[in-house]
């Protein structure tokens, strides 16, 4: 069996993400306000990840991707999506820092942090409110009704070329008497388009 030939991996652990992706096995566990229940919802998702120019902050050098992920509930693929996010994934080779700067269309902005080596197959991100580096901001309504307490996301690069992710967003819900709940999402994506022959 021929040994896999890999490129220079300029994007480090983010390299396998380059391209366009789809996944139809998404599962969202969340509180449904209209029905006052916590339930699972299946979803279909599209995503793209594109390289950006190297960014230099003084002596810090960051390689990265800009990205967008959009999801539709099963049966609503021809309608408006129920989730959309845009952001950047950044990697600092010198320290192994990986950052996910993401904005959700609900008035939420997050900078998650992780550490990873160039060819790691898993990246585990974390953010908590008030952290001066890897924190969470949210609009005033959400702060009062569904306060975000922590946000963890893991990307896994599978041997078959797919990418799986899982996220755990801990919320303090006013509708449930201030109790905490775990809003979780998971999906597996397969590449539908490469950029310049990029492969993991």
Task: Determine contact, residues 110/125, Cβ cutoff 8 Å.
Answer: no
Compute the radius of gyration of the chain from its Cα atoms: 18
Task: Determine contact, residues 128/153, Cβ cutoff 8 Å.
Answer: no
Task: Determine contact, residues 91/124, Cβ cutoff 8 Å.
Answer: no
- Residue 188's contacts (CB-CB under 8 Å, 6 or more residues apart) are 23, 25, 158, 162, 163, 164
The beta-carbon contacts of 99-106 under 8 Å, at least 24 apart in sequence, are: 99/62, 99/134, 100/125, 100/153, 106/139, 106/142
pLDDT for the residue numbered 35: 76
Residues listed for the chain: 200
Q: Which helix (H) or strand (E) holds 59?
A: none
**DSSP for residue 78:** T
Task: Determine contact, residues 115/96, Cβ cutoff 8 Å.
Answer: yes
pLDDT tens for the chain, 200 residues long, are 444 445 557 899 999 999 999 999 999 999 887 777 889 999 999 999 999 999 999 999 999 999 999 999 999 999 999 999 999 999 999 999 999 999 999 999 999 999 999 999 999 999 999 999 999 999 999 999 999 999 999 999 999 999 999 999 999 999 888 999 999 999 999 999 998 754 44
Beta bridge partners of 23: 45
Tokens matching residue 65: 């991707």
Residue entry with tokens 């580096």 = 133
Tokens matching residue 138: 């949210």
Closest CA to 123 of 193, 182, 71, 49: 49
pLDDT for the residue numbered 36: 78
pLDDT for the residue numbered 200: 42
């Amino acid at each position: 069996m021929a040994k896999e030939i890999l490129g220079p991996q300029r994007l480090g652990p983010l390299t396998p993400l380059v391209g366009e992706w789809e996944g139809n096995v998404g599962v969202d566990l969340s509180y449904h306000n209209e029905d006052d229940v916590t339930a699972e919802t299946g979803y279909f998702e599209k995503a793209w990840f594109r390289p950006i120019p190297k960014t230099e902050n003084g002596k810090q050098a960051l390689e990265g991707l800009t990205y967008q992920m959009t999801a539709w509930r099963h049966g609503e693929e021809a309608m408006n999506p129920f989730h959309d996010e845009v952001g950047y994934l950044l990697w600092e080779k010198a320290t192994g820092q990986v950052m996910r700067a993401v904005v959700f269309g609900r008035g939420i902005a997050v900078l998650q942090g992780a550490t990873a080596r160039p060819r790691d197959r898993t990246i585990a991100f974390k953010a908590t409110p008030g952290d001066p580096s890897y924190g969470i901001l949210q609009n005033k309504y959400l702060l009062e009704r569904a306060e975000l307490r922590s946000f963890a996301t893991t990307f896994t690069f599978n041997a078959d070329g797919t990418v799986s992710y899982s996220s755990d967003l801990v919320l303090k819900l006013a509708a449930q008497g201030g109790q905490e709940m775990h809003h979780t999402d998971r999906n597996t994506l397969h590449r539908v388009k490469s950029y310049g022959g990029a492969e993991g």
